[in-house]
Amino acid sequence: MQQEGNELTNLGGKNSVVFSRWSLYIAVFGLIGALVLMLDSAPYENITQDFTTDHSNRSGALIMPTKVSSPRGLMIFVHGDGAMGRSAFGYYYPLWQRLAKEGIASYSWDKAGVGGSEGNWLEQNMQSRANEILDVVIMLRKQPRFKDIPIGLIGFSQAGWVMPKALKESSELSFAVFVSTPINWLKQSEFLTQTRLKRAGITGKSKSEKMKHAQDVSKLIAEGAKYDTYLDFLERTAPNAVESAMNKSRYQFVQKNINVDSELELREIHQPLFVAFGNHDVNINVANNAAHFERIFTQNPAQLKLKTYQNADHTLLKNSEFGHLTPSLWWLIKVSLWEEDGFSERFVDDVMSWLNLQITKLSQHAQ
Determine the Cα–Cα distance for residues 126 and 348; give it in Å rounded to an integer.
Answer: 27
Determine the Cα–Cα distance for residues 95 and 349; give it in Å rounded to an integer.
Answer: 10
Q: How far is the CB of 9 from other proteins (least distance, A)?
A: 5
Which parts of 41-142 fold into alpha helices (H)?
93-101, 126-141
Stretch that binds other proteins, among 33-41, 70-78, 183-191, 243-251 (CB under 8 A): 33-41
Q: How far is the CB of 17 from other proteins (least distance, A)?
A: 5
Stretch that binds other proteins, among 20-28, 108-116, 124-132, 291-299 (CB under 8 A): 20-28
Determine the Cα–Cα distance for residues 315 and 179; give it in Å rounded to an integer.
Answer: 8
Q: Using the rule CB under 8 A, is 38 a contact of other proteins? A: yes
Q: How far is the CB of 327 from other proteins (least distance, A)?
A: 19
What's the CA dihedral at 154, 156, 158, 163 to 10 degrees?
Answer: 10
Q: Using the rule CB under 8 A, is 47 a contact of other proteins? A: no
Q: How far is the CB of 97 from other proteins (least distance, A)?
A: 8
| Binding residue (CB under 8 A) for other proteins from 339, 350, 356, 357 | 339
Say if residues 93 and 63 touch (Cβ distance below 8 Å): no
* Cα–Cα distances in angstroms (integers) from residue 103 to residues 34, 116, 356, 360, in the given order: 25, 27, 10, 13
Q: In this complex, which beta carbon is closest to other proteins, that of residue 41 or of residue 364?
A: 41
Say if residues 312 and 279 touch (Cβ distance below 8 Å): yes
Phi, psi (rounded to 5 degrees) for 44: -145, 160
Q: Using the rule CB under 8 A, is 350 a contact of other proteins? A: no
| Binding residue (CB under 8 A) for other proteins from 105, 143, 341, 362 | 341
Q: How far is the CB of 72 from other proteins (least distance, A)?
A: 17
| Binding residue (CB under 8 A) for other proteins from 8, 302, 329, 366 | 8
Could you report how far apart the first and last alpha carbons of the chain are, in Å?
90
Q: In this complex, which beta carbon is closest to other proteins, that of residue 1 or of residue 302?
A: 1
Amino acid at 332: L
Binding mask 63-92 for other proteins (x = CB under 8 A): ----x-------------------------
| Binding residue (CB under 8 A) for other proteins from 30, 82, 301, 327 | 30
Q: How far is the CB of 24 from other proteins (least distance, A)?
A: 5
Q: Using the rule CB under 8 A, is 39 a contact of other proteins? A: yes
Pairing of strands 304-309, 44-48: unpaired
Q: Using the rule CB under 8 A, is 37 a contact of other proteins? A: yes
* Cα–Cα distances in angstroms (integers) from residue 1 to residues 6, 7, 11, 151, 240, in the given order: 9, 10, 16, 83, 91
Determine the Cα–Cα distance for residues 96 and 22; give it in Å rounded to an integer.
Answer: 41
Determine the Cα–Cα distance for residues 271 and 275; give it in Å rounded to an integer.
Answer: 13
Residues 6+ apart with CB under 8 A from 253: 122, 123, 124
Q: Using the rule CB under 8 A, is 43 a contact of other proteins? A: yes
Stretch that binds other proteins, among 23-31, 208-216, 218-226, 357-365 (CB under 8 A): 23-31
Q: In this complex, which beta carbon is closest to other proteins, that of residue 43 or of residue 160?
A: 43
Residues 6+ apart with CB under 8 A from 198: none
Q: How far is the CB of 332 from other proteins (least distance, A)?
A: 14
Q: How far is the CB of 28 from other proteins (least distance, A)?
A: 6
Which residues of the chain form contacts with other proteins (CB under 8 A)?
A: 1-2, 4-9, 11-12, 15-17, 19-21, 23-24, 27-28, 30-31, 34-35, 37-39, 41-43, 67, 97, 101, 336-341, 345
